[in-house]
Amino acid sequence: MAPNLTTASALFLETTQDSVVYQSKSQKSASAARPRSGLQKVQAEHKDEPGKQYNLKIRWRNVIAFLYLHVFTLYGIYLAFTAAKYQTNIWTTAVLIFASIGVTAGAHRLWCHRSYKAKLPLRILLCIMQTIAFQNHIYEWVRDHRVHHKFTDTDADPHNSKRGFFFCHIGWLMVRKHPDVKIKGKTVDMSDLESDPVVVWQRRTYLVTMPLLCFVLPALVPVYFWNEDPWVSWYVASVMRYTLQLNGTWLVNSAAHMWGYKPFDKDISAVENLTVASLGFGEGWHNYHHVFPWDYKAAELGPYRTNWTTGFIDFFSRIGWAYDLKTVSTEMIRRRAARTGDGSRHSDAPLEDLHETDNSIWGWGDKDMPEEDIKEVRIYNKCN
């Protein structure tokens, strides 16, 4: 069957080609202990069955595209140091930052987790920035990410970290989605995005706006304004920039689920990783984020230098474009770290003050969010 070229995500289209067989890596016997949290309950319900095999179809279009991008990114790096004008390198860096924050502040913290609200001008700006990033349109990005939070490290998780670094970094985009991802994706509430005219417009026009904003415009600007060589401009400002930006995002799915410490919940895969936080514009404080996905900072503490996205949101909050910024009380953080953390964050919360918190939610507005958590949320810059 030919690829469906009518969908928005042309690069990430599914094909029905040769299959790859994945043997489940989590064939452990069920624990006698009762699941501690909502996430553990979800994982128990969706745990892999012994001997179960998954026949995943290779997306050959994606394999070829990613091979091209990564091979010629090496060439782009060479050109950036040997042939590109300094203006081109500055432009490339600026576009990379601009696009990345479109994902982190826009698709992730605003639209997916609803950790703050944005007025129309900021939503339009973030939509443009996220389109430059080309990681699928906002609606699809949010749906997959909400499923990731609801069903972390199960077959319903699009980039299940139990399948190894390569799979959760890039491999998940090289094969068709597991059927559970599609099934559970239909159960996630997306009504908020369906009623947002900015998201609806982007989804309808994505096949036109994405190529222009992600590839054509970044390559044309250096050629037009400072007479850069078109060949150099394409491989530096478009190919190299896009590939580096993709890998920065992918590290959150891979490294931030594997290497680091777990001060807030030692029983989940997400970790705190300074390197990923620095490269991912603040998205590397991932253990905290999975425990408190509605916090607009996606982190407990930390300066702007390791969380540029928070600085971006705070700036627009000051000028009135971002409002209802949600965060977590220090007391709530302290109690959670004392109850489920790995001890890397000191906490002296008395045990009688601790309460159960359900991890298996995608953010603010999830119907499964505990009432006690809702009551403890702190909201700044409220808009009456």
The model's pLDDT over 205-259, given as tens digits with 9 standing for 90+, comes to 999 999 999 999 999 999 999 999 999 999 999 999 999 999 999 999 999 999 9
| 334 domain-assigned | yes
- Helices (H) then strands (E): counts for the chain: 17, 6
Given a cut of 90, whether residue 149 has pLDDT beyond it is yes
| 293 domain-assigned | yes
| 117 domain-assigned | yes
The DSSP secondary structure of 317-332, one letter per residue, reads HHTTSEE-EEEE-HHH
Q: What is the DSSP letter of 17?
A: -
% of the chain surpassing 70 pLDDT: 76
Given a cut of 90, whether residue 139 has pLDDT beyond it is yes
Higher pLDDT, 307 or 360: 307
* Chain mean pLDDT for the chain: 84
| 9 domain-assigned | no
For residues 260-279, b (16+ Cβ closer than 10 Å) or e, as one string? bbbbbbeebbbbbbeebbeb
How confident is the model at residue 23, as a pLDDT?
38
How confident is the model at residue 207, as a pLDDT?
97
Which region among 35-44, 86-95, 162-171, 297-306 has the lowest average model confidence (pLDDT)?
35-44
Higher pLDDT, 369 or 351: 369
Given a cut of 60, whether residue 8 has pLDDT beyond it is no
| 15 domain-assigned | no
Partners of 54 in the beta sheet?
22
Given a cut of 60, whether residue 1 has pLDDT beyond it is no
CA distance 286 to 293: 9
Confidence of residue 305 (pLDDT cuts 50, 70, 90): confident
Confidence of residue 74 (pLDDT cuts 50, 70, 90): very high
Selection from 14-23, 58-67, 368-377 with the highest mean pLDDT = 58-67
Range of the domain at 101: 36-380
- pLDDT tens per residue, range 41-61: 555 555 544 445 667 899 999
| 48 domain-assigned | yes
Q: Token pair 């001997």 is at which residue?
A: 51
| 233 domain-assigned | yes
Given a cut of 70, whether residue 378 has pLDDT beyond it is no
How confident is the model at residue 251, as a pLDDT?
98
How confident is the model at residue 330, as a pLDDT?
87
Rounded mean pLDDT of 110-127?
97
Contact 380, 311 (CB under 8 A): no
How many domains does one find in the chain?
1
Retrieve residue 110's tokens: 């605003």
- pLDDT tens per residue, range 246-286: 999 999 999 999 999 999 999 999 999 999 999 999 999 99
CA distance 282 to 185: 26
